[in-house]
Structure 1
């Protein structure tokens, strides 16, 4: 609030509680300077629920003590904390490679929410599609083709051999073995096959992931792919 808004606020409070009125010109000037110093960063009102006059009226109604600047600053800080606690940072529309623009947009959104100029952004539920994505991000993803660049994918291949083998098989048109459950090691769809480590007593001591799936799993994936191809061709033949 600027000095004129502070003066209007003091006049409003004086009508509700005459104890705050200063008749001496010097005292009134000092009171105005003090309140402006303490409440200069508190807005008079915001588009989303904050009004300093409502906070002042509430205090005068429930407290027998004369109002002080702290009695308005505390509700304002609570208002800010509550809004930031309900805010979930949305993905900025700036280019992620431009760190300065990305950070500036993120910080600007938080300041707008805390100041009551924008509503808190709620975390969106996970959906099956990509509806509501910023068009610029959509264009960038279409250009790149994947969220993992090809160079990064190649660099990661030695550290995740099972996934690299799966991707290579799909590119070559072979069936996706990890799309079915392995009947040998009981690996679930999406998980790599595991090999068993047998101890001297013929008991299974541990398991370790395999770079390649078990042959039986490959057969199941091939049979599943053949059935899907056959089902897709039946309407065309009909």
Structure 2
């Protein structure tokens, strides 16, 4: 705020709280100089939600204490921090090989956001919470964001999942939907080959492409309850 804006702010505050009014010309001049020194870098108002008069009125309305410059400076600093925390630097339009121009554009954008001259730039994917229409249509058509041809190419690299999907597609019980009592695999995990050594301890636990027969029987027995 410049001195004219500080004077207007003090006049507004004086109408709401006469205790801040200085009738002596020298005291009024000193008050104006003090407030300008402390609030010179704080704008009177911005296009995006900041107004020093609103802050002053809120303080006078809620606090029994006479307003001080810090009662406006502190909310302004909180306002700046909040805007910068919500801001995500957009890609500058400057040439990336021109480091000075690239950096200057980033700094200028951040300064505009911090000063309230520009709105924070946020990622649409984070703030909107809406699924893209093309992806929504794909999900309705194939019930997965992975296209069928890609899923077929991935099948050799994840045989247990491919077998599970094929069984479900043919109406067979979902063996991976229950725990395997033989190898101890939890629901959702593939069965494992347990090689038992002479001492009775397990020597290996490589994943199986197909579940153990006992797990299939258990899934089939629970299928009516799971449906």
TM-score tier after normalising by the smaller chain length = 0.5 to 0.7
Unaligned ranges ≥5, structure 1: 130-178, 189-200, 207-238
Question: In structure 2, do the counterparts of structure 1 residues 205 and 103 end up closer, same or farther at CA, with 3 Å as the change threshold?
Answer: farther
Structure 1: distance between partners of 2:25 and 2:68: 19
1:187 positional shift:
11
1:96 aligns with 2:69: no
1:67 aligns with 2:67: yes
1:183 corresponds in structure 2 to 156
Structure 2: distance between partners of 1:24 and 1:14: 14
Question: In structure 2, do the counterparts of structure 1 residues 32 and 205 end up closer, same or farther at CA, with 3 Å as the change threshold?
Answer: same
**Does the 8 Å contact 1:84/1:110 carry over to 2?**
yes
**Does the 8 Å contact 1:181/1:187 carry over to 2?**
no
1:13 corresponds in structure 2 to 13
**Does the 8 Å contact 1:95/1:101 carry over to 2?**
yes
Unaligned ranges ≥5, structure 2: 127-131, 135-151, 162-196, 198-202, 207-227
Question: In structure 2, do the counterparts of structure 1 residues 25 and 182 end up closer, same or farther at CA, with 3 Å as the change threshold?
Answer: same
SS at match of 2:7: helix
Structure 1: distance between partners of 2:156 and 2:52: 68
Structure 2: distance between partners of 1:124 and 1:85: 16
Structure 1: distance between partners of 2:133 and 2:41: 44
Q: Which moved more, 1:62-71 or 1:76-85?
A: 76-85
1:27 corresponds in structure 2 to 27
1:186 positional shift:
5.5
Q: How does 1:31-50 map to 2 (within 5 A)?
A: 31-50=31-50
1:108 aligns with 2:108: yes
Could you say what the CA RMSD is over the residues aligned between the two structures, in angstroms? 3.2
Q: How does 1:81-92 map to 2 (within 5 A)?
A: 81-92=81-92
Question: In structure 2, do the counterparts of structure 1 residues 35 and 97 end up closer, same or farther at CA, with 3 Å as the change threshold?
Answer: same
Question: In structure 2, do the counterparts of structure 1 residues 100 and 187 end up closer, same or farther at CA, with 3 Å as the change threshold?
Answer: farther
Cα displacement string for residues 112-139 of structure 1 (whole angstroms, at most 9, x for unaligned residues): 011111111111329799xxxxxxxxxx
Structure 1: distance between partners of 2:158 and 2:125: 35
Structure 1: distance between partners of 2:156 and 2:50: 62
The TM-score normalised by the length of structure 1 is 0.55
Kindly tell me the number of residue pairs found equivalent between the two proteins: 152
1:166 corresponds in structure 2 to none
Question: In structure 2, do the counterparts of structure 1 residues 106 and 29 end up closer, same or farther at CA, with 3 Å as the change threshold?
Answer: same
SS at match of 1:180: helix
The TM-score normalised by the length of structure 2 is 0.58
